[in-house]
A = this chain, B = another copy of it.
Amino acid sequence: MDGIGPRQKLWLERSDGRVVMSDYRLRLLELIAQSGSLAQAATALELSYRRAWGKVRELEENLGYRVVDSVVGGPGGGHTRLTPEGVELVGAYRRFQERARAAVDEIFAEEFPR
């Protein structure tokens, strides 16, 4: 199938259906880590600050641990960063996502040869 390619949306669910990670949540957490700012991450995703904050809080509730940490004040003003557990989750999910994409591309090429 010429010019045709596979697409994939991934997420991780608890057995009760609650989402504990997803491609979208990865992007949100990576943007927070890169910018050090929930407000900047929210803007990049065209979310309100309130909505971005709600998504992080819901994710933490589903996971049962904190993934971001807000530091208020200090010389450069407040900022938000990932917790060590958040860094670990982002790394593991990023590898999971990249390997899954590569696997799906390979399987597609085998099942739909030109």
Say yes or no for A10: interface residue by CB 8 A criterion: yes
Beyond A6-B12, A8-B100, 12 additional pairs, beta carbon < 8 A: A4-B13, A4-B14, A4-B15, A4-B20, A5-B12, A6-B96, A7-B10, A7-B12, A8-B9, A9-B9, A100-B103, A104-B104
- What residues on B are CB-neighbors of A20 within 8 Å? 1, 4
Question: How many angstroms from the CA of A3 to the CA of B20 in the assembled complex?
Answer: 11
- Inter-subunit contact A103/B107 (CB<8 Å): yes
Question: How many angstroms from the CA of A5 to the CA of B13 in the assembled complex?
Answer: 6
- Tell me how many chains of this kind the complex includes: 2
- What residues on B are CB-neighbors of A10 within 8 Å? 6-9, 104
- Which residues from 59 to 114 on chain A have a C-beta closer than 8 Å to any C-beta of chain B? 92-93, 95-96, 99-100, 103-104, 107-108, 111-112
- Inter-subunit contact A107/B99 (CB<8 Å): yes
- Inter-subunit contact A12/B8 (CB<8 Å): no
- What residues on B are CB-neighbors of A8 within 8 Å? 8-10, 100
